[in-house]
Each structure stands twice: as structure tokens, then as C-alpha cells.
């Protein structure tokens, strides 16, 4: 303990005071974090405050006074170059920004992530989310397929029949479409929800559809088995809170420029309302290259799984926007640990009212699914 403390203080001093190259800095940074972890585990600190070099005794006392007035017990570790204050107490009651603004504070390091309920610490086993009779997570794969938008009962019927035959276990179709242009097809609304529900029941498939407006949550809740929050609404906190208050499972898509932490914080909005049924979805993030619609961040899958117990699926359709690339990205997603794949399928893409260019034909979808089955088996996951 003492040795760690000394080493920690030493390295804190060296890294801040001297000029060292990047590689060396990474090594030292790792060492500091390692030592801090040891320090933390021996004291059960929730937050660590690193003070600026050269702070006076009265400034240290001031930091301690402020922190104690916020309800924390403190442990001060005074080094030759740096002083560290460990906080013991409930960190959820205080904003890190508030601690950072105390005079003399250089940095504040929370020990636990802010997305408490979504974190692996909160729930070390993978969560399994039930969507109707389909289980997602913990070795059970979601195979979600259907058109981008519900267009008509006939079209929905023919596509559902094809994807069901090919092996899909959840039917998708947008009734409320979040379109970039206000002049584009906006979806059939409630009529679309009814068509989707009837079609899902006909083929014995649970259904997923997007909600874009908190005022539509009761209707979507009534007709859907899984409520989708789209990329454009990932940080619509009113909408997240609303779906959190329903017990329906939520498919939360990653925002186009959202970090994984942003995504997990959005999941936390749903979980903190008492709805534990959240499935995360990697659907591509914005990039500069026009070769693909978005950049498929396949590393997000294992990275999310290292942080959270929530199931993670991939959507290679919106990630690539290209039917010729969807199969490879679907395989990669599953091999990277995804708990399912979400793909758009249309039996006549040229007539599709939204996202036609990225739709797989039913025959292409069937081929992808048969390969995904093999990959799933290889990794002990089935659908």
C-alpha cells in the first residue's frame, strides 16, 4: 500500500513535470492507473481527486472542506510533488464537474462508470432480453429483418413470409419514419403499426418498430414487441425517459456521432426508469468517406461487451448502405460477439418508399442467414 502510494506520487510528478515521449507517457499513464487502482481497492474510494502541483496546505484543506461538506469521507495522500484526495461515499450525489471546479484541483477520476446500471460491474453476467418469445443475449441471437418502412399490408406480407422462411426471428418495419427531408415519405403512422402487428402475428414473429415522438409511445407500446429508438433520437432524453417507463424492450441504436459512453448513458436513461430490457445496436457512425453510407464500427461490439452486460446487435444495412457489403459486415459483427443482426429486406427495392438502395433481396438475405447460422454455431450462439 505504502509502496504503491510512493510510486503513484512519483509517477504523477514525473509525467506532469517533465517532457517525455508519447510511448513512455502511455507506459507511465498505465502505471499510474494501475497504482491508483491498487490504492482505490485498498480504500474503497469512489472518486479520486488529483491536486495541482504546488498547492498550499490551506488549498488542500479547502478542497477537503468542500468535499466533506458534500457528504464524502476523505483520505488525503500528500506527496512531495502531488497530493491526492480519495473520496469515500455515494458519488452519484455529486457532479464530477463540480469537483473539477474547486480551486487547486487538477483532475478528478471517477472509479466507477457513470452508467451504473448498464455497467458490467452492476451485472457481471450477460443480460438476456425477451422480445415476445425470442430471447436475445447470452448465446441467443436476434435475426431482425423486414423493410425499412411499412408500405402496405400486401408488401409487408410478402416480405415477412420471405424473411420468416429464411430464418428471421423478429420482423421489422417503420411506421414513423425519421426522414432527413420533410418532403420524404414519413411512414403510415398508426395504420402502419396495425399492419406490422397483424403481419407479425400471421407469421408468429415478434415485431420491432421505431418511435420518434414521446406522444406516440403509448401506441407503439400497444402494437410492438420491441421499441426502436433510432440513431437520430439516441439522445432524445424525453423519449428515452418515456420508453423507460414502459416495460417493453428497447432497441437503442447508436447515434451517428455518439461515443460508446454516450450510448451507454442513453441506455442508462431507460434503465434508470425501471425498464431493464435494453438491446444496444451498432449501426455505423459518420465518416468522411462517401464509399459507404456510414462507418461500420465493428470494434464497438467487443468494446461495449467489455463495459456492459446489455446485448449488442449490429445493423450492417444502415452501417454500409450497400447490399454488396452487408453480408461481410454481418459476418464480422457476429464473429466479433454480436447478439444478433438487423437487416433491411425488400422484395422490390426499386419500389421501396425508403432505403431501397440498401435493401437485400429475400434470396440474398436467405444466403446471409445460412452463413450466419454457421458462424453462430462456431461461437456457440444460436437462433
Residue 148 lies near ligand PEP (rule: CB under 6 A): yes
Phi, psi of 219 (to 5 degrees): -70, -45
Contacting residue, 131, 231, 300, 301, with ligand PEP by CB under 6 A: 231
Give me the least distance between CB of 255 and ligand PEP, in Å please: 9
Residue 376 lies near ligand PEP (rule: CB under 6 A): no
Closer CB to Mn ion, 283 or 309, in the complex:
283
Give me the least distance between CB of 179 and Mn ion, in Å please: 10
Q: How many residues bind ligand PEP (CB under 6 A)?
A: 9
Give the Cα separation of 195 and 207 in Å (integer): 11
Residue 138, helix vs strand vs coil: coil
Give me the least distance between CB of 283 and Mn ion, in Å please: 9
Residue 148 lies near Mn ion (rule: CB under 5 A): yes
Instruction: Report what 161 binds from ligand PEP, Mn ion, none; CB cut-off 5-8 Å by kind.
Output: none
Closer CB to ligand PEP, 141 or 234, in the complex:
234
Closer CB to ligand PEP, 55 or 217, in the complex:
217
In 155-248, the DSSP E strands lie at: 170-172, 207-210, 226-229
Integer Rg of the chain from CA: 25
113: left (phi over 0), alpha (psi -120 to 50) or beta: beta
Whether 8 and 36 have beta carbons less than 8 Å apart is answered as yes
Give the Cα separation of 60 and 49 in Å (integer): 11
Site mask for ligand PEP (CB under 6 A), range 303-322, x = bound: ---------------x----
Span of 19-27, 211-219, 228-236, 261-269 interacting with ligand PEP by CB under 6 A: 228-236
Residue 283 lies near ligand PEP (rule: CB under 6 A): yes
Give me the least distance between CB of 352 and ligand PEP, in Å please: 11
Query: How would you classify the pairing of strands 73-78 and 83-88?
Result: antiparallel
Cβ-Cβ contacts under 8 Å for 226 (sequence gap 6 or more): 131, 170, 206, 207, 208, 248, 249, 250, 251, 279
Give me the least distance between CB of 176 and ligand PEP, in Å please: 10
Instruction: Report what 167 binds from Mn ion, ligand PEP, none; CB cut-off 5-8 Å by kind.
Output: none
Query: In Å, how far are 218, 241, 334, 338 from 377, measured between CA atoms?
Result: 38, 37, 11, 13
Indicate the helix (H) or strand (E) that contains 135: strand 134-136
Length of the chain counted residue by residue: 383
Residue 253 lies near ligand PEP (rule: CB under 6 A): yes
Closer CB to ligand PEP, 55 or 258, in the complex:
258
Residue 355 lies near Mn ion (rule: CB under 5 A): yes
The residue with its CB nearest to ligand PEP is: 230
Using CB atoms within 10 Å of the CB of residue 184, give its burial: 0 to 12 exposed, 13 to 18 middle, 19+ buried.
Answer: exposed
Give the Cα separation of 344 and 367 in Å (integer): 14
Please report, as ranges, the residues that interact with Mn ion according to CB under 5 A: 148, 355
Please report, as ranges, the residues that interact with ligand PEP according to CB under 6 A: 148, 174, 178, 230-232, 253, 283, 318
Amino acid at each position: 500500500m505504502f509502496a504503491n502510494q510512493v510510486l503513484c506520487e512519483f509517477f504523477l510528478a514525473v509525467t506532469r513535470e517533465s517532457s517525455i515521449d508519447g510511448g513512455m507517457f502511455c507506459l507511465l499513464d498505465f502505471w499510474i492507473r494501475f497504482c491508483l487502482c491498487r490504492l482505490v481497492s485498498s480504500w474503497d474510494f469512489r472518486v479520486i481527486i488529483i491536486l495541482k502541483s504546488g498547492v498550499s496546505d490551506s488549498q488542500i484543506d479547502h478542497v477537503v472542506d468542500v468535499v466533506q461538506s458534500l457528504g464524502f469521507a476523505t483520505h488525503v495522500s500528500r506527496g512531495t510533488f502531488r497530493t491526492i484526495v480519495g473520496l469515500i461515499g455515494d458519488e452519484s450525489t455529486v457532479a464530477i464537474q463540480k469537483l473539477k471546479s474547486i480551486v487547486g484541483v487538477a483532475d478528478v477520476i471517477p472509479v466507477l462508470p457513470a452508467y451504473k446500471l448498464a455497467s458490467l460491474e452492476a451485472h457481471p453476467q450477460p443480460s438476456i432480453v425477451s422480445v415476445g418469445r425470442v430471447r436475445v443475449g447470452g448465446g441467443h441471437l436476434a435475426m431482425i429483418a423486414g423493410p425499412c418502412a411499412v408500405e402496405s399490408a400486401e408488401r409487408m406480407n410478402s416480405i415477412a413470409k420471405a424473411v420468416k422462411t429464411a430464418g428471421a426471428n423478429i420482423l421489422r418495419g417503420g411506421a414513423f419514419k425519421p426522414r432527413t427531408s420533410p418532403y420524404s415519405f414519413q411512414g403510415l403512422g398508426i395504420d402502419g403499426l396495425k399492419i406490422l402487428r397483424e403481419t407479425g402475428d400471421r407469421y408468429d414473429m415478434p415485431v420491432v418498430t421505431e418511435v420518434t415522438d414521446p406522444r406516440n409511445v403509448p401506441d407503439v407500446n400497444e402494437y410492438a414487441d420491441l421499441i426502436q429508438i433510432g440513431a437520430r433520437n439516441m439522445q432524445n432524453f424525453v423519449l428515452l425517459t418515456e420508453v423507460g417507463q414502459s416495460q417493453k424492450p428497447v432497441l437503442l441504436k447508436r447515434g451517428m456521432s455518439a461515443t460508446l459512453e454516450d450510448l451507454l448513458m442513453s441506455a442508462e436513461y431507460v434503465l434508470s426508469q425501471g425498464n431493464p430490457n435494453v438491446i444496444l445496436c451498432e449501426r455505423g457512425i459518420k465518416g468522411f468517406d462517401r464509399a459507404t453510407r456510414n462507418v461500420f464500427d465493428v470494434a464497438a461490439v467487443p468494446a461495449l461487451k467489455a463495459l456492459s452486460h446489455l446485448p449488442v446487435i449490429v445493423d450492417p444495412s444502415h452501417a454500409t448502405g450497400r447490399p454488396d457489403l452487408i453480408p461481410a459486415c454481418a459476418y464480422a459483427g457476429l464473429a466479433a460477439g454480436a447478439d444478433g443482426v438487423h437487416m433491411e429486406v425488400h422484395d422490390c427495392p426499386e419500389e421501396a418508399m425508403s432505403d431501397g438502395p440498401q435493401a437485400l433481396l429475400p434470396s440474398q438475405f436467405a444466403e446471409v442467414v445460412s452463413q450466419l447460422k454457421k458462424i453462430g454455431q462456431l461461437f456457440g450462439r444460436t437462433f
